[in-house]
Structure 1
Amino acid sequence: MSKQFQFKLVLLGESAVGKSSLVLRFVKDQFDDYRESTIGAAFLTQTVSLEDGTSVKFEIWDTAGQERYKAPMYYRNANCAVVVYDITQSASLEKARSWIRELQRQADPSIIIALCGNKSDLSARRQVSQEEAKKYAEEEGLMWGETSAKSGEGVQDIFTDIAKKLPKSAPPSARTAGGRTATGARQGVDLNKQANATGGQGEQCNC
């Protein structure tokens, strides 16, 4: 039986950069030109199967971009974050930088952060060069990629790359109750073990 792990992923970024469209493309392979802005946060799940036989189930929190919703509750205990900017709006990259600074200050130190430039299908209107974004990501130790929620280009890749980078286990001495290490970092939940312990019924993740 292949191993299955569960991780909490949060999407952050300014309004209208396409966070909800990115999730819709990833989860349902759909795109809606007239999608309304998210209010608060939306919750979805999607599973990625990896070449090594493991699978990663993402619990995805798609947050609103408005400042009044900028609260740690959405990224508390998050294992990974996708911070999205719009390649046609240079101001959205500056906003993404502020989100990343907040994650670096407030989130778990082990969180994996991916900087994502969305709307690559609008490259003729590009204001943020790949070189600028990639250089910033390298300086901050972030993953980086460009996507188009509209065409689907790069969407699966960025989530799969995150899934590959997430820790699938922790040293036995570091494990503690609740799926956390001794340092407080949340580890992936092994869904196979949960199913065995509960007679085949999966447990709700305490996120």
Structure 2
Amino acid sequence: MSKQFQFKLVLLGESAVGKSSLVLRFVKDQFDDYRESTIGAAFLTQTVTLDDQTIVKFEIWDTAGQERYKAPMYYRNANCAVVVYDITQASSLDKARTWIRELQRQADPSIVIALCGNKTDLTARRQITQEEAKKYADEEGLMWFETSAKTGEGVSEVFTAIAKKLPLSAPSSRTNAARGTAAARQGVDLNRQTTTQGSNEACNC
């Protein structure tokens, strides 16, 4: 009989870096060229099968990038976080560093953090080199990836790698995620709808 472990995962990063598109690609294998901006936070679930005996279920919180929504309630009790930046926008990595500092300061000390450079399909417009981002990730002890939500490149690898790094023997994993479920009604459940509330904005994600 397979065992299922449940973890709360939060996505953080500047607005329009492609957080929602990244999650939509992972959960539904879909991409929208014109995706509405997330307001507050959206809530989704998806599972990763590690082997015949182990299934990891992620309860995913996709947060808005606007500063006014930068609230600990979205990453409180999170077991893991994906901090996303846009490889074509140098300022988005600076913003990612800010989020990571906040996680290191306020989140659970055991949280697994992945730094993710999105929009590799726009590599001709790259402003952030792989070397720069990976060096920072190594210095901070973070996992590091590059992805394209548009093509799907590298997306599943991010979540699979996080699932493998999580302590599957920890009984608290299910407890923390359950707390997130109780708060899910404060967000938009994207498992039930494919778009979030907000302005019609081409995010080029």
The aligned counterpart of 2:134 is: 134
CA RMSD between the two structures: 1.2
The aligned counterpart of 1:49 is: 49
The aligned counterpart of 1:189 is: 174
TM-score when normalising by structure 2: 0.85
The aligned counterpart of 1:113 is: 113
For 1:42, give the aligned amino acid: A
Measure the CA separation in 2 of the matches of 1:104 and 1:134.
18
The aligned counterpart of 1:85 is: 85
The aligned counterpart of 1:197 is: none
Measure the CA separation in 2 of the matches of 1:74 and 1:80.
12
* Structure 1 segments of 4+ aligned residues over 3 angstroms from their partners: none
Measure the CA separation in 2 of the matches of 1:138 and 1:52.
32
TM-score when normalising by structure 1: 0.84
Shift of 1:206: 1.8
Give the alignment of 1:28-47 within 5 angstroms: 28-47=28-47
Give the alignment of 1:10-29 within 5 angstroms: 10-29=10-29
User: Secondary structure in 2 aligned to 1:65?
Assistant: coil
Q: Deviations over 1:17-37 (max 9, x none)?
A: 000000000000000000011
For 2:88, give the aligned amino acid: T
Unaligned 5+ runs, structure 1: 171-178, 180-186, 191-203
The aligned counterpart of 1:183 is: none
Shift of 1:188: 2.0
Measure the CA separation in 1 of the matches of 2:52 and 2:159.
16
Q: Paired residues, what number? A: 179
For 1:188, give the aligned amino acid: S
The aligned counterpart of 1:157 is: 157
Measure the CA separation in 1 of the matches of 2:77 and 2:113.
13
Q: Which has the larger radius of gyration?
A: 1
Shift of 1:122: 0.5
Measure the CA separation in 1 of the matches of 2:140 and 2:112.
11
The aligned counterpart of 1:205 is: 178
Shift of 1:51: 2.9
